[in-house]
Structure 1
Amino acid sequence: MTPYIAEAADRLAGTATAFQESWDRQQEAFLPDREERLAAMLDAVDAVTDGHAPRLLDLAGGTGTISLRALARFPRAEVTLVDLDPALLALAGASLRDRARVLVADLSRPDWPARLPHRDFDAVLTATALHWLPADRLTDLYGEIRDLLRPGGLFVNADRMPDDALPGLTDRLTARARERRAARYAAGAALSWPDWWQRAGADPVLGPLVARRREIYPTGHSPEWNPPVSWHLDTLTAAGFAEVGTLWRGGADAAVAAVR
């Protein structure tokens, strides 16, 4: 972490747990089966490491959602988290402390792996994050990820990935999920994405980092580019992975897995 993010992480020690909880509730309102997909990812990690302590890269790891669950499942895991968002990195640093490396890295740049401590990960995991990269950059990133894995290592990306063969049903499932989410927001059961960021921006420690975040993403964080699962499978295959397939699916979301 850069010094100003590390300092913020230290100052967040008393409130990080509460912000992590509100982040989880906000995310679960948008992704009701969030824990199911994360569990499927960690099951796959367990399979490729035969239960041994894995060396993991949490890609665009945000507040540390995957890292925290990975360490709960594999207490001796060696975890590295990378992200660019200063507010989320501060929360990750405050929550993970000395149990993981928390690093600043810009995945839109091909030199981002230079920030990493090594290049022989057992698994690279990411969830609901890479959709903000354009097609050509994500294509290159998949190749870069392959090069970071040991032979037999695993990559899993969980995100909005519609099933090509079910366009009509996918649209109906998405509409129903949107209705349920709106009802939860209206009842106050969870914060929406804008509401969560508004509260983070009002926090005396996170507020300056949220302002820096706006400088990094002046037009917003995501172009909402969500290609079908076939695009990911074809692109991963072209990147040179030995095995590629769908690990998990829920409605319009999926987790694709690739083994080097």
Structure 2
Amino acid sequence: MTPYIVDSSAWQESWDRQQEAYLPDREHRFAAMLDAVDATVDGRPPRVLDLAGGTGTISLRALARFPTAEVTLVDLDPALLAIARASLADRATIVTADLSTPNWRSSLPHRDYDAVLTATALHWLPADRLSRLYGEINDVLRPGGIFVNADHMPDDTLPELTKRLAARAHSQRAARYAAGAALSWSQWWERAGADPVLGPLVVQRQAIYPTGHSPEWTPPVSWHLTALGTAGFTEVGTLWRGGVDAAVTAVR
């Protein structure tokens, strides 16, 4: 049994601040996701799959928005899942599964989700695997259900402006780090590794990801829309955009 993290709220806050250094408009994309869920279920409690859910960022916000929602969180990272378990308690079903293989679906409690949501996670998968994963996601949605993926997705029709936006974001992030306003990715993991409960789980994580989550790649929105269409979704489009990030949506 994973040791219980007493101060899960502090780790959640620390994770949020670290992520916001990369994604200043992070909450906007979550709000857009949940607005789409709300429109899809039309007033009834949604059944939500939080894919590559990490610490439970999306699950926690989904439950705040829809208190009676049925939520499943899937991830492989033992350290992040420990934080998620402590934060969500018995309000969500948490599944340990590897998205790099199609077997992840066998651990799910349902195959008729209203929504599959993911954010800033799937860019760790190579192109061929992500294309196949999109088809597998289609398979676990009910007819009319939605998939939303918010990630680094530049607009390929604005290449020069995208470069300037990325440079601006990098400069602002560097300034926050220099001022101590947020931890970097590596600094956050150093803190987690020094924690008496999370530390052993960080060691397990390093065994799972010996070279990190590589490869990391950032195809444009157009690539995702084409892949989602090929995966069999009936509608595909862009739900939200902020700088070099976007959220693509697909309807089964």
1:50 aligned partner, one-letter code = D
2:111 match: secondary structure: coil
**Cα distance in 2, alignment partners of residues 43 and 107 from structure 1:** 26
The unaligned stretches of length 5 or more in structure 2 are none
Equivalent positions of 1:123-162 (< 5 A) are 123-162=115-154
1:108 aligns with 2:91: no
In structure 1, the partner of 2:249 is 257
Aligned match for 1:165, one of 157, 169, 187: 157
Question: What is the CA–CA distance in structure 2 between the aligned matches of 1:229 and 1:189, rounded to whole Å?
Answer: 31
Query: Where do 1:46-57 residues align within 5 Å?
Result: 46-57=38-49
Structure 1 segments, 4+ long, off by >4 Å, are: none
Per the alignment, residue 122 of structure 1 pairs with 114
* Contact preservation (8 Å) 2:45, 2:69: yes
Query: Residues of 2 paired with 1:80 and 1:258: CA distance?
Result: 19
Of the three residues 27, 31, 50, the one matched with 1:35 is 27
Q: Given residue 142 of structure 1, which amino acid in structure 2 is its aligned partner?
A: Y
Instruction: Work out the number of aligned pairs and report it.
Output: 252
Q: Alpha-carbon deviation of 1:51?
A: 2.1
- Whole-angstrom distance in 2 between the partners of 1:150 and 1:38: 21
Further displaced range: 114-123 or 221-230: 221-230
Is 1:82 matched with 2:74?
Answer: yes
Determine if the alignment matches structure 1 residue 231 to structure 2 residue 206. no
In the alignment, which of 11, 18, 23 is matched to residue 26 of structure 1? 18
- Matched residues in 1 for 2:25 and 2:160: separation? 21
Write out per-residue CA displacement over residues 127-179 of structure 1, whole angstroms, 9 at most, x where no aligned residue: 00000100110000000000100000000000000101001000000000000
Corresponding residue SS for 1:111? helix
2:192 alignment partner, one of 192, 200, 203: 200
TM-score (norm 2): 0.99
After TM superposition, the score normalised by the length of structure 1 is 0.96
Counterpart check, 1:180 vs 2:172? yes
Q: 1:189 aligns with which of 148, 166, 181?
A: 181
- Structure 1 gaps of 5+ residues are none
Does the 8 Å CA contact 2:125/2:216 hold for their aligned counterparts? Answer: no
The whole-number CA distance in structure 2 between the counterparts of 1:164 and 1:26 is 28
**Aligned mates of 2:53, 2:131 — CA distance in 1:** 19
